[in-house]
Amino acid sequence: MTVKVLVAYATKNGSTAEIARTITEVLREEGLEAELRPVADVGELQEYDAVVLGSPLYKGQWHKDARRFAKRRREELAQRPVWLFSSGPLDASASERNIPPVPSVRRLLIEIHAKEHATFGGCLTEDARSWAARMIVKAGHGGDFRDVKQISAWAQHVGVTLRGGAAPRREER
């Protein structure tokens, strides 16, 4: 039976959506049925065997759409294997070392018994939507720090873990 994975994401400027798309494509290459959706468009979680949930960091926390989704769906999330990712750092740090989740995401990870969390480098360019974002770019702190190799390797690891047949939904154990 094919494992069906939901890849749900929040985004403000679009770069986390692209990370989520890369993850989805890798999961498909791994033979899984992966569905890509913004968190606001996610219906019932019942049809999914596993979830990958990601959000950009803004001022030390996840985007509000992702926070809302996690809060409302935490019981459903806790019933299936979940992997979390954050995107944010506007430097090479996320490629160089493992950056732990921010406190609120760490609490979520524990609460829903998520399998793992990864932090990926972020992206901010001059067409960003907010004034604050454009100021950051103007000050020379923008750029694209997404590491496709790192993202793909992580997604492959998720795919291999799921393909390995482990982790059926908890309610079915």
Ligand X SMILES: Cc1cc2nc3c(=O)[nH]c(=O)nc-3n(C[C@H](O)[C@H](O)[C@H](O)COP(=O)(O)O)c2cc1C
Tokens of 112: 């829903």
Find the residue with minimal CB distance to ligand X.
88
Query: Of the candidates 59, 97, 149, 173, which one interacts with ligand X according to CB under 6 A?
Result: 59
Residues in contact with ligand X, shown as a per-residue x/- string from 6 to 35 under the rule CB under 6 A: -----xxxxxx-------------------
Residues 40, 60 contacting (CB under 8 angstroms): no
Which of 8, 26, 51, 57 binds ligand X (CB under 6 A)? It is 57
Rule CB under 6 A: choose which of 53, 109, 124, 158 binds ligand X: 124
Shorter beta-carbon distance to ligand X: residue 26 or 105: 105
Residue 76, amino acid: E
Give the pair of three-digit tokens for residue 44.
């019932």
Residue ranges in the chain assigned as alpha helix (H):
15-29, 64-72, 74-78, 93-96, 103-111, 131-138, 148-163
Q: Does 163 bind ligand X (CB under 6 A)?
A: no
| Rounded Cα–Cα distance for residues 82 and 110 (Å) | 11
Which range of residues in 26-34, 106-114, 131-139, 150-158 is near ligand X by CB under 6 A?
Answer: 131-139
Count the Cβ atoms, other than its own, within 10 Å of residue 146.
19
Among 40-48, 58-66, 67-75, 108-116, the segment contacting ligand X (CB under 6 A) = 58-66
